[in-house]
Structure 1
Amino acid sequence: MRCILILLTAALLFSCTQSRDSKNRAAYDIITEKCYVIRNVKPVSGDPLVDSVMQRSAAIVNYLERHGFSKHIAAKDSLLFHRTNAQEVVIELPAPQDVWQANTIIVFDPEKNPLFVNLHKDTTQVEHYIK
């Protein structure tokens, strides 16, 4: 009787694992490499706020590229970050409401969780993430 109970438990665990792995990933932009993710936005020049945000964004992007991060333009608003330890992080990007949200930068290292970069700050936050 005990042997049958153990076999049923093992079968139940195995069946649950299969259904979890067969998730539909077509709705996601899957990211597995060391990169930074940005949206594909068309900047409107002449506005001082937009120019300021673009300067801050460019400074952080230059810093990331110097440290080996490649550029990834978000193809969809649903992002799936796949880490090296097989964990997955799903991020749903809402429609941008202002210039700050339109220029969102997400840094991803497969060894770590994704980092949303605060454009109001300098590159110190990214330095801590890289270490």
Structure 2
Amino acid sequence: MNRLYKSFRQLCKKKTVRYNESLENISSIINRWFKAELQHLAVLSTAPTSKITKDPVKPTQKILCNLSIDQMALILRAADDERIISARSLNDVFKDISPHLSTARKETISADSMRSKSYNSEPRDKKIAMEILEKIRLKIKEY
């Protein structure tokens, strides 16, 4: 934009050229427009930039899961370890999946919470996760 303005200022202009006799000359109007645009661009370039965030998933779009966050985290970690699901990292798996899940106790599930709980699991949660997976195995066998 600066380059265009500089080129414009270096043009030979006739001060008498006007759209309308009652208005000022075209050169003055365009000159003022360039200054306003450059000032606007300067303000935009110094304004703080906001992070682009994903729109939060609406609660009506969430899947209610009857497992605890700890149990879901264990199953997702095992699925990632066995390459049933795949992402750049386990953290990405949790970041991509957690916004779409809710539990009876928690409407919004934190990806960081899932990640930390997948590494610090209680024996009870491991047992419940294995029982659920066994039920799923038996259900698939029925089909």
Compute the TM-score of the two structures, normalised by the length of structure 1. 0.31
**Is the radius of gyration larger for structure 1 or structure 2?**
2
Q: Which of the pair has the greater relative contact order for Cα pairs under 8 Å at 6+ separation? A: 1
Bigger strand fraction? 1
Bigger helix fraction? 2
